[in-house]
Structure 1
């Protein structure tokens, strides 16, 4: 469909409208019809005048023959000779006719042929032009009514689309300006529906986020309230008070982490944030993710093993956010690894993608839980130490990089998470994600 790219009124722009083409065709057709009717009427009147004139000549010959029988053989020849417009004969005839009052000022009643011709001509032209104008008016009415019917159908379709919160029922495309109008209105309707759907998704997401935060904060807030009451009790010892304060501090840190993580996930899912990808070595990003987790691994006596191809891998990504996603995967692997276990981080390269796998030697995940582990607050084991937000956050960040996060596991054989990223991703000049 052609786009509206200007307001010019060139001949070509006008001619592409079906209404203009039909109007031109109608005018040309009516002009041809009028010419044909005028020619046919001229032929008919000519034949009629010929018959009237011949009848007049016959009556004249009859009258002269009755008065002068000796001129019977000469009369036809004289009439034919009179048609040759001889100036002498015409002058003589005018002199004789004038004596009896026959001239241009003579009343038409004396010339019945002329009187009938004028009467019939006026009547015929009046009726003919009236019918012609009526036909032309009907055709023009039908022609100019078509755009209004088209606009009315477009308005009704748009109104139904707005009322039913659905795309317009059927395409109303045609050539010309009305076709462009229909196409633009349908595009507008589609974009409005997409915007409404997006607003509904964002509203639902905000509702879910608020509900999640409220649900997750209810328990720590209750605990804090209890600890505050205990601290206010005079019977609480100093040692117990310090322990209660330390517990309150941990709960507050947990609440802060929970809120920030939920906000990150919500803003990523709502596409309210844009990455700032740069082309950087993937190994540097992995090291950035490992740096804050080495102490945790040492404390749990878990070995972190990193494997990478000799040539290294560079691709366009946001190092800060991708490192956070990898850190969540590695932290999850450390938490589920046994003492003296090993977490391996391995990178591979294919012609189109880079793969990062994080594998642990833990108890594994039952097959029935695998489809749900990326849902918020989902825990495959009731004894888990987390709240079920690390994996959903990692998945949102990876998908924001136009990548894919998958998991494979068997009970007793550990779990492997694989991040797949495209090697060739168009760079973006969008601003970096704001810190939360």
Structure 2
């Protein structure tokens, strides 16, 4: 297979762009010229149809006058014959009849009692003594549309007579008019063909289809002419249809059509001529432009070569300077730039090494600061729960002291053999209670140690429900003192996530403690866990007073707090967000003043034993 490869140089691209634009302009101009020629030819066709319409109207008006004249002359001849029957009158009548036949007009004398009176209502006006000429739509015959002129002869009552001059607008009449105006003539009423001069069945079928449309026929009945075109084999046609009104108010369409073949041929020839001229001009201009571009692009190629050498690290490359034009000025500037870049690159290399050292130092400092912030917040949280833990320890210790004092009083100044079995049993009960209270103290201290042990950066698979449950269990007794209760809704069978248990418990503790502090008079903390696609969500809601909008957008800022001085560090939510982000998740808040706030922690689901987002995975 032969493949064509075009150069991708600047000159080739400029020449290609110029050629493309030139072709686009040429095509656009050609299209505009073709459209102009098409509209001009279409206007010529429309003007030709209008000229045909005017000539047809003149012919019909002439025929109306002739029919009216023949009817009037026939009526005069009838009246002369009644008054004085002479040979001159008879000869005139014979001549009149012959002359009317030559013009296709049929002369008849109709009496008032003739049965044909009902066939043409135009006769009624003639019997009333009024000369009339109009179109009449009849059934059957050579032409279904007749031009009828009626002239009264005279008489009284039932002896009244009318001379009619009838011109059938049939096929022969339409063919004669077609030769006179240079186009085909057709009479239609809606989809009904009345008469036509055309021998093309396809053309007449298309005419019937167009004019049978209710919309088109409504326009005809309103008296508007219609211009339209249609494709017909072998020649396309242009048509103008004008309405004719019959004596009884019916509408007949007079359609004048002519071929558009000459228009199509002229348009095709004009298109070929314009396209040929445009192509010739385009080729000539492209050749001239390529020659000019080659003269300009040569210095640019040398600049490109030198720039490629600099890009490869060979600084100091220069190009020859020819002349004093813009390209020569560019070449000189390039040479100076190339010489100065060598010194600049040495300086940049030194600065890069210095910056890399500084960046590493700052990175280590930031990591240390972040760890300190986490530790400070953890210690602050420990301080918040210390009072509650002291209270928790005080209750069992007080019980232990009370039972011990009871035992001492029972044994004071008495010998062992003096104790009754009931007193010994009561003493054993005291010791059992002391043992149970001691276990309670041990559990509280173990929970405290578990929460306070030094955190690590190790990540492992964790259960969201377990971590949240352990955090709530640790804080439950302390928050119960502030009349704060929990309502939990855990989604079962949640998949694990990669994380650090102590760090995530620190986040959950901070959120729960904040919720409790937002309800100083007591309230309910709603805790929910669920899965949303490939994410796990833990939601903490309170029934407090909510967070105002101006404060809500700053709650995650470091050192921002609304608590009095000495009661908060302002790092809780900032550190919590940092921990969640290190786990590849996010934390968000929504709040309504007077209704409460909701914090949502989102964590990614762990698939198998994949690596943790940050830190190390426990071996």
TM-score w.r.t. structure 2 length? 0.29
Q: Choose between structure 1 and 2: higher strand proportion.
A: 2
Larger Rg over CA atoms = 2
